[in-house]
Structure 1
Amino acid sequence: MNSIQATVLVVDDEPLQLELHTAFLEAAGYQTLRATNGQQALTLLQKDPAAIDVILSDVAMPEMDGYAFCEQVRAHEETKNTPFIFVSALTNLEEKLKGYDAGGNDYVTKPIEAEEMLEKIKHVIDCREKLASQEQQLAESFNAAMQAMTYSSDLGQILEFYKNSLNAHSFEELAGYLFQTMAAYGLRCTLHIETLNGPIDIGDSGPVPPLEKNVIELARQKTRFYDFGVRTIINYEDFSLLVKNMPVDDAERYGTFKDTLGTLCNAIEARVKVLLSDDANRQKAQVLETVRQALGKIGDSFGNIQKANLQAIEGMVDDLDNAIMNLGLTDNQENQIRDIAVKCYEQVDKIFDEGLTLNNEVEILDKRLTEIFADIDQ
């Protein structure tokens, strides 16, 4: 602030001194306001506290002296930091201590020397500007520190979620840990996951309404962060997170949440992929187990059929021998019938051997399935 912009409130009950002081100030480029007593000066201050940059006040005034006036100025929030310079012919230590205790910034002795007064006024204005700058820097540093503390706290919540998510063996358990973390932020949400059996939606407050499910499905075609009103949908390959109450009125916190939620979703993604892989392996294992059981049944059935066929053929040969003895056939006829039976027996025996080969193939396949199961379990 230069001198042309600064306004000095001059307070003195002596008209001559009042005129003299204002003349010095205006000649130096300052704007001035005048008051002949403390009460009048307080009235001017109350009208527009920000319009007055410096107060130059006489000490010895009737009704309210300069010290009492200064105490009144310091008692009000709007003027507690307004630079205050006393003017007095009394320069002893006791008087200056009174001025200091009242809240004054400096002291000008009578008779006033214009250069000294102007220098002191310039000095208190410079000090006030430096103080204002320091207060702004302090406020900015405080805000930055608070943001850092908040972000640190947010990271702590995310690390806790990372740790807990390792114990999640289902999508429902993972959602439960997520809802705990989001509740700590004061946020409500719904988790949508694209599973092998189709999408599932898990809400933090119970069943997810059909319209909400539909909105999430449609929003999955949008950008990573899709904002609408107080809601934000964060889309990843295998899942989407709907946040229902983002702090849109607090731009700073809103931006911090965006960063935090991005990090949180990276943690969700890591666990979702593991659970999807586990789910896929379980389904493969179920299919393999079904095939294995079917092969076992086929092998058992085939063995039983082979055994029954062999018994039937052997029974047929015995029956033929008995029948031949009772039919009174010639030797040639008996030999022809026996040749037919032997030939049939040999063909069945060949088929039986082929069946054993097939049964061995089934056993090899069953062994391979057992090895696959062992790999899945690992």
Structure 2
Amino acid sequence: MALQRILAVDDEPFNLEILEEILEDLNFDLLTASSGPECLEIIETFDPQVILLDVSMPQMNGYDVCRAIKANPETHHIVVMFVSARGSVEERMEGYAVGAEDYIVKPFGQGELKSKLMNLSQMLLDKDILEQQVEDATSTAFDAMATSSEMGQIVNYIEQISQVDDVSTLINAMIKCLSSFGLNCNVEVRVDTQRLHFATSGLCSPIVVELFDILKSKGRLHEFTSRILVNYDLVSVLILNMPNDENKHGRIRDHICFLVSVTEQQLLAIMTRKELNTQKDNLDNALTMINGKFKSLMGMLNTNRRQNESVFRSLQERFESKIPTMGLDEDQEIFIFSNVDEAIQNSVAREEAIEMVQSAFKEIEGDLSLLTDKS
């Protein structure tokens, strides 16, 4: 703020009149005091930006007054310029030692005093700018620290849930992460035709459950007063105590949306793994059943092959023992033996086909066993 309020302190009324005349055309709000104690009393209500302070005064000299001003946390910011008839190096050093910002020696010219006051005015403006920069830098630093801490919580949450396979464990981990930001939240999860509810306090109130139902299909984000509702297909989160600070509010809102998005994806992963496990169990059961049927069929084929061998072996033995005693001529015997031989050859061919089928079944059985192991 530019210089506006000045307090002149001198025990000589004539000196105060000169100061009033010099400053008259500068439109400063000027008050005067004739002693150190009066000066200290006035600054409690007037709050001057600059004090033109005489050094040589009775009761309390200017150095003592300056010490008192600079020692008080409520007034130490006031700029003090000593006005003295003595201007030796030692006296100037004493003035600066007690905290004064400037020093002017009587008698002084009108231009000299105005120039010094203009410099002090610029100094006040620069000081305000610097203080604002420091305040902004401090705020930025604290925001950066807060963001870093919050991001650390989010990273920990993501790492924690990467191996979670249980819905309740996942949602409780998200609630714990949001609680680390000081947030009071309610959560609805919609899986397997069920609506599951979780809350920081442990239970969702009926009105919150109703709110979830009303707003679940009304868009991604709803903000009202200090509350915010974030909707995804499977997860909805209601925060009841969003911060009032605009910067923090926006930062926390972004964190919430990101956390709900990550939680939604992890929930989808859990459901996918659950479905895949169910499919694997069904496939294992089907493979076990098919494998059993193949083994049963191969057993039947083996039994049939052995029975055929036994039948044809018995038939061949009977013909070989009976035909010579039947009194048949040579052509008849050849006819019978050729037909028997043809039947045996046909049987052998069928056995070879059965062996090929058995070989194919064994390959299929091996493939099923390999598929079962991989699944």
TM-score when normalising by structure 1: 0.73
Give, in whole Å, the separation in 2 of the partners of 1:86 and 1:295. 107
State the SS of the aligned residue for 1:57. Answer: strand
State the SS of the aligned residue for 1:115. Answer: helix
1:184-217 CA-partner distances (Å, limit 9, x unpaired): 2122323322213433223344344444333222
Q: 1:15 aligns with which of 13, 16, 20?
A: 13
Q: CA deviation at 1:292?
A: 6.6
Q: 1:168 aligns with which of 164, 170, 174?
A: 164
| 2:249 is the alignment partner of 1:254 | yes
Give, in whole Å, the separation in 2 of the partners of 1:160 and 1:88. 67
2:83 maps to 87
TM-score when normalising by structure 2: 0.73
Structure 1 unmatched runs, 5+: 307-362
Q: CA deviation at 1:134?
A: 0.2
State the SS of the aligned residue for 1:190. Answer: strand
Q: 2:24 aligns with which of 15, 23, 26?
A: 26
1:281 maps to 276
- Counterpart residue identity of residue 37, structure 1: S
1:309 maps to none
1:120 maps to 116
1:204-259 CA-partner distances (Å, limit 9, x unpaired): 44344444333222221233222344332211122112223322x33332222112
Structure 2 unmatched runs, 5+: 301-361
Contact 1:83/1:125 (8 A) holds in 2: no
1:70-119 CA-partner distances (Å, limit 9, x unpaired): 12222333321121110111112222222112211111101122221111
1:232 maps to 228
| 2:199 is the alignment partner of 1:203 | yes
State the SS of the aligned residue for 1:142. Answer: helix
Q: 1:146 aligns with which of 138, 142, 148?
A: 142
Q: 1:371 to 1:185 in 2, by over 3 A?
A: farther
Cα RMSD over matched residues?
A: 3.2
Give, in whole Å, the separation in 2 of the partners of 1:190 and 1:287. 37
Q: 1:77 to 1:181 in 2, by over 3 A?
A: same
Q: 2:217 aligns with which of 208, 214, 221?
A: 221
Contact 1:288/1:369 (8 A) holds in 2: no
Q: 1:367 to 1:262 in 2, by over 3 A?
A: farther
Q: CA deviation at 1:24?
A: 0.8
Give, in whole Å, the separation in 2 of the partners of 1:211 and 1:29. 63
| 2:267 is the alignment partner of 1:272 | yes
State the SS of the aligned residue for 1:232. Answer: strand
1:269-325 CA-partner distances (Å, limit 9, x unpaired): 22112112112223444555676788799x69x99xx9xxxxxxxxxxxxxxxxxxx
Give, in whole Å, the separation in 2 of the partners of 1:210 and 1:365. 59
Identity of aligned residues (%): 26
Q: How many residues align?
A: 314
- Counterpart residue identity of residue 85, structure 1: M
Contact 1:25/1:31 (8 A) holds in 2: no
Give, in whole Å, the separation in 2 of the partners of 1:191 and 1:364. 53
Q: CA deviation at 1:368?
A: 9.7
| 2:240 is the alignment partner of 1:244 | yes
